[in-house]
Amino acid sequence: MSKTITIKLTKAGNKTSLFSISDDLGNLLADQVPKQQLINGMSFVVNDSVKVMILKTVAGNCVKVLNMPIVTMPLDEVAAIQFQDANTGSLWRHLTNPLLYNSFFGSVAPYILEYPFAYQYYDEILQNVKDYTKVYKYLPDQSVFNYNRRIQTDNDYFNKAVLYNDQQSSGVLELVPKPQNNLSKYLSYPIYGVSSKTITFTKRDNFYQYNTFWSLVVDKTQPLFITSCDYLSLDKVVNQDNMDYSVRSFRKDKIRAKDLKVRHILDNRSDIHLVSQFIITPSQISYN
């Protein structure tokens, strides 16, 4: 048995142009379909067992895949669907809410700082990272930005870090504050995930500090980073296919080279204000 379905594109950006259409059974129904044709609507005859239609397009350097569950709608509602351009122009005012910072159009945008380091004649082994950053939270004051209504916190910080050189990478390090007065919880770290490793940071003498990292690169002939598809404004994201986050009791390849880059990321909240002063990376000379 078969059924007829209609696909209409309701919203898209200027970078999308050609689409391929398939079903969840793996059947390619159409390829190189112009965007205007999908805006007007296209009908296909598919098997009764098909539940999802799959649209694939290339936007810039990224492949976008949209899975669309099949739903029943009256024909007059389908005909009434209007296309919306996702790239409409608009004005944006930043910091209209004094309690929010890296928030744009209602969404948290990644706040990223990257520090480069160059060593001298010998390779050096990274031991830990010490960062002098002040983290502020502002208290409500009738929607007015008021420096007198801020407090400095000790347990808030960047939530991610990536340490790397041209051949090594720590992968994504999830940063959480060290548990206080809870030894059993502290000993549960590092926590190994599928696409990150969670480690603890401490704040001491106004320095945020963390360690417990090593290179997780699987294949040095493959890139350490790829182009971001979620945020095209970002320059790069970690190539997770080339990282091994499994537990290692040995084979911990130390971050060792004549240069180093420390990449700090805040992408899980927008209610803190980070003022970074300077960062140091204690290391020891490697004579091997």
Give the separation between CA 57 and CA 252, rounded to whole angstroms. Answer: 40
Same domain, 80 and 155: no
- pLDDT reading at 109 higher than 70: yes
**Minimum mean pLDDT range among 70-74, 124-128, 142-146:** 142-146
Q: What was the pLDDT predicted at 148?
A: 82
- Same domain (yes/no): 244, 107: yes
Looking at residue 36, what is its pLDDT? Answer: 87
Q: Check pLDDT > 70 for residue 182.
A: yes
* pLDDT at 61 > cutoff 80: no
Q: Rounded to two decimals, what is the model's pTM? A: 0.76
Q: Is residue 91 part of a domain?
A: no
Beta-bridged to residue 285, according to DSSP, are 124
Q: Are residues 55 and 179 in the same domain?
A: no
Residues 23 and 59 in one domain: yes
Given a contact cutoff of 8 angstroms between Cβ atoms, the answer to whether 209 and 256 are in contact is: no
* pLDDT (tens digit per residue) in 62-95: 778 888 888 888 888 878 888 887 766 666 676 6
**Strands in 52-183 per DSSP E:** 52-59, 62-69, 84-85, 103-104, 107-108, 111-118, 123-126, 129-138, 150-152, 160-164, 173-177
Is residue 135 within 8 A of residue 274, CB to CB? The reply is yes
pLDDT at 158 over 70: yes
Domain co-membership, 277 together with 146: yes
C-alpha angle 264-215-261 in degrees, rounded to nearest 5 = 35
Q: How many domains does the chain have?
A: 2
Looking at per-residue pLDDT, the higher value among 262 and 56 belongs to: 262
Cis preceding-peptide flag for 190 (omega within 30 of 0): yes
Mean pLDDT of the chain, nearest integer: 86
One domain for residues 269 and 188 = yes
Do 228 and 194 share a structural domain?
A: yes
Residues 40 and 142 occupy one common structural domain: no
| Structural domain contains residue 97 | no
Q: Which of 22, 103, 26 is nearest to 273 (CA)?
A: 103
- If asked whether residues 145 and 280 sit together in one domain, one would say yes
Same domain, 238 and 170: yes
Of 59, 85, 111, which marks where a domain is finished? 85
Highest mean pLDDT out of 111-120, 140-149, 158-167, 234-243: 158-167
Residue 130 falls inside a structural domain: yes
The mean per-residue pLDDT over the stretch 11-16 comes to 75
Tell me if 231 is assigned to some domain: yes
* Reported confidence tier of residue 135, pLDDT bands at 50, 70, 90: very high
Residue 20 lies in a domain: yes
In a domain, 248, yes or no: yes
What is the Cα–Cα distance from 175 to 171, expressed in whole angstroms?
A: 12
pLDDT of residue 5: 86
Q: Are residues 76 and 211 in the same domain?
A: no
Give the integer Cα–Cα distance in Å for 157 and 273: 9
Task: List the domain range (segments joined by +) for residue 205.
Answer: 103-286
